[in-house]
Structure 1
Amino acid sequence: MDAPTCPLCGRPIPAEAKQSLHHLVPRLKGGKGGPVVLLHHICHLEIHATLTEAELAARYHTIEALQAHPRLARFIDWVRKRPPGFHSRVPGRRRKR
C-alpha cells in the first residue's frame, strides 16, 4: 500500500512520520464535521503558525488558497527539499489567535 500524499507539500507521508488532520474550516469557526485533510505534522504546524482561525475560515479554507499564501509558499518550497519523514520545530513567531 502506498503512503498517502500531503496535499500541501506534495510529499508522501510515511506511516512512521508525524502526521496531523487539518480542518479546512476551523472547528471554532463552523468547521465541525467539515472537510479534513491529512498533512505532515510540520505542514500543519506551519499553517497555524502563519494564519489565524479567522483568516483560515474567511480566505484560506482550500489547499490551493493555502499554497498561494506567500509565507506558506516559501515554506512549501523549502520543505519539499526535505525527506518525507522530516520534522523540526517551526521557525518564526506564532500568529495571534
Structure 2
Amino acid sequence: MASGRNGTIYIGVTSNLPVRAYQHRNGLVEGFTKKYGCKLLVWYEAHDTIEDARQRELRMKKWKRLWKLSEIERLNPNWTDLYETIA
C-alpha cells in the first residue's frame, strides 16, 4: 500500500488481499496505513503459503527504500491503484 507515487509505503501480508486492501483504503484499520494515508494498492505478489509470504515480508521490510521503489516500478511503473484488478 502507498500514499501516492514515491510516497509512504506499507508492506504487509494477508490471506485475503481484496478484503485487506478494502480495509486499508477505507481507513478501517488503525495504525500505520491510516496514519500515513496509505490507501493505494500499488504492488502485490502471491505465495503458496502464508509462511512463505511472511518470510518475504520480513525480508522486504529490511530492504532499502530504493529497492522497494524499484520493485513497485518493475510491476507498476505508473503507480496505478491495482485494487480494481483484484476486487
TM-score between both structures, scaled by the size of structure 1: 0.32
Per residue, is there more helix in 1 or in 2?
Answer: 2
More strand by share: 1
Bigger Rg over Cα: 1
Per the normalisation by structure 2, the TM-score is 0.34
